[in-house]
Amino acid sequence: MRLPLFLTTIHDWLYSMMPEIWAKIVEMVLIAVGYLAFFAVAGLFLVLLERWIAAWIQLRRGPNRVGPGGVFQTIADALKLVSKELTGTIKADMFLYNLAPYFPIVSALIVLSVLAFSSTIQAYDVNIGIFFIISVSSIGVIGILLGGWASNNKYSLIGAMRSGVQVVSYELSVGLSLLTMVLLTGSLQLSQIIEVQRTGGWLILQGHIPAIIAFMIYMIAGTAETNRTPFDLVEAESELGAGYHTEYSGMKFAYYFLAEFINMFLVAAIAVTIFFGGWLSPFGITDHIIWLQPVWFLAKVGGIILLMMWFRWTFPRLRIDQILTLEWKYLLPINLVNIVIMAIIILLGWTL
């Protein structure tokens, strides 16, 4: 683990206080708590941001009552959700019904742990980073499938089945578009990927045309994986009521809801790491200032998130067969060809 300076002092203090094994455990718990706190704050802030953006696009005012400019609106909402009675159906499969909401939120939290927020803030720099992210993030769909199945509601079931079909399909595109970029970096480790970009420029510039194609495919597939408009037919409210979480209320619903927004953050963060140089500043202007690294990272992530919100509030929804057609007939073949093109470009040394 590589830590920034003020965290290093805590690290040293802990190790001087107690035996090494205990210090390690305490440190892990502290880091986990820190990530959980970030998780909650980021989720709430993204909800608030979404509502502001939506209001701005839709000629409305948006949240502006609770706190200055409405910044505490989502905290109030969260309090309401926490204190709300948990209602559900009697005929639900209670074990699975209660278990399901934890899958998306836990898988999102695990993925968060390998993200590189800066050169020093990264909980675990696993050497199979991208592979780890792809595989863990696909666990989340189990929660949706289980929730829809266990609710004992036909609308939930349709929503869950749609979700299963959709996420399984688009996982391919996410993986392959990232694979295209991995050809450039030659490593799956996130810190390595960013190192490559420090010297050679952002990967979207290095790989130029195939990289831009890969980015577009990644954005489409990533939006689909987070079940957001135009791919939100999992919870298409005009068709299925609320989709897979129809029967959930209170905190269980909030888990699904938060997980959706954290997933959006993750998709954007991965896009930034792979395509836009992670925490690197443009043209290396502020690379020597360590504390600006997470700022750059979050700023870039914010930019991608804005793009996804823009999609959401201006696009209609696709139909289930159109979604599958898009994936299997267009994105997947394009992606495969794109990988070959990328390989040829690298072979010929035509990268920028």
Partner 1 sequence: MQQEYLVQDPFKTEEYMINMGPQHPATHGVLRLLLTIDGEIIKKVEPDLGYIHRSIEKMCEYDTYQQIVHLTDRMDYLSSHINNEAVCLTVEKALELEVPDRVKVIRTIVGELTRLASHQLWWGVFGMDIGALTTYFYAFRDREMINDIFEETCGARLTMNYNVPGGLMFDIHPNFVNRVKAFVKHFKTKLPEYDSLLTGNIIFQKRTKGIGLMTAADAINFGVTGPGLRGSGVAIDTRKTHPYSAYDKVNFNIPTFTDGDVYSRYKVRIAEMWESLSIIEQLIDNIPDGDFKVPTKAVIKLPKGEFYQRVETARGELGVYINSDGNKNPYRVKFRSPGFSNLSILDHLSRGYKIGDLVAIMASFDYVIPDIDR
Query: By C-beta, is 21 or 59 nearer to partner 1?
Result: 59
Nearer CB in complex with partner 1: 131/313 = 313
What are the residues whose beta carbons fall under 8 Å from the beta carbon of 173, sequence distance 6 or more?
A: 217, 218, 220, 221, 224, 327, 331, 332, 335
Structural tokens at position 338 = 């794109």
Contact status: 87 vs partner 1 (CB under 8 A) = no
Q: CB neighbours (10 Å) of residue 102?
A: 15
3-state secondary structure at position 19 = coil
Q: Using the rule CB under 8 A, which residue among 134, 145, 158, 345 binds partner 1?
A: 158
Q: Are 196 and 268 in contact (CB under 8 A)?
A: no
Residues in Cβ contact with 33 at an 8 Å cutoff, skipping those fewer than 6 apart: none
Binders of partner 1 among 318-337, rule CB under 8 A? 318-322
Nearer to partner 1, 136 or 326 (CB): 326
Cα(128)–Cα(204) distance, integer angstroms: 21
Q: Which of 1, 49, 57, 251 binds partner 1 (CB under 8 A)?
A: 57
Q: Does 305 bind partner 1 (CB under 8 A)?
A: no
* Residue in 161, 338, 307 with CA at minimum distance from that of residue 223: 307
Integer CA distances (angstroms), 73 to 52, 69, 250, 278, 302, in order: 11, 9, 17, 30, 20
**Judged by CB under 8 A, does residue 8 bind partner 1?**
no
Rounded CA-CA distance 35/122 in Å is 10
* # chain residues binding partner 1, by CB under 8 A: 28
Stretch that binds partner 1, among 19-27, 57-65, 120-128, 286-294 (CB under 8 A): 57-65
Q: Write out the binding residues for partner 1, residues 238-267 only, by CB under 8 A.
A: 238-241
Nearer to partner 1, 63 or 210 (CB): 63
Tokens for 277, please give them.
């140089």
Contact status: 91 vs partner 1 (CB under 8 A) = no
Give the shortest CB-236-to-partner 1 separation in angstroms: 6
Nearer of residues 71 and 161 to partner 1, judged by Cβ: 161
Query: In angstroms, what is the minimal distance from the CB of 84 to partner 1?
Result: 20
Nearer to partner 1, 157 or 262 (CB): 157
Q: Is 236 in the site for partner 1 (CB under 8 A)?
A: yes
- Binding to partner 1 by residue 42, rule CB under 8 A? no
- Name residue 257's amino acid: F
Task: Choose the stretch contacting partner 1; rule: CB under 8 A; options: 7-15, 179-187, 298-306, 316-324.
Answer: 316-324
Among 171, 225, 232, 327, binds partner 1 (CB under 8 A): 232
**Cα distance between residue 270 and residue 272, in whole Å:** 5
CB of 124 to partner 1, least distance (A): 38
- Which range, of 3-11, 55-63, 207-215, 268-276, touches partner 1 by CB under 8 A? 55-63
233 is a site residue for partner 1 (CB under 8 A): yes
Q: Which of residues 268-287 bind partner 1 (CB under 8 A)?
A: none
Q: Is 313 in the site for partner 1 (CB under 8 A)?
A: yes
How many whole angstroms separate alpha carbon 36 and alpha carbon 171? Answer: 26
Which C-beta is closer to partner 1: that of 109 or that of 326? Answer: 326
Long-range contacts of 231-236 (CB under 8 A, 24+ apart): 231/166, 231/170, 231/317, 231/318, 231/323, 232/312, 232/317, 233/162, 233/166, 233/317, 233/318, 233/319, 233/320, 233/323, 234/144, 234/159, 234/160, 234/162, 234/163, 234/166, 235/159, 236/159, 236/317
- Which CB atom, from 115 or from 224, has the smaller least distance to partner 1? 224
Binding site for partner 1 (CB under 8 A): 54, 57-60, 154-155, 158, 229-230, 232-233, 236-241, 313-322
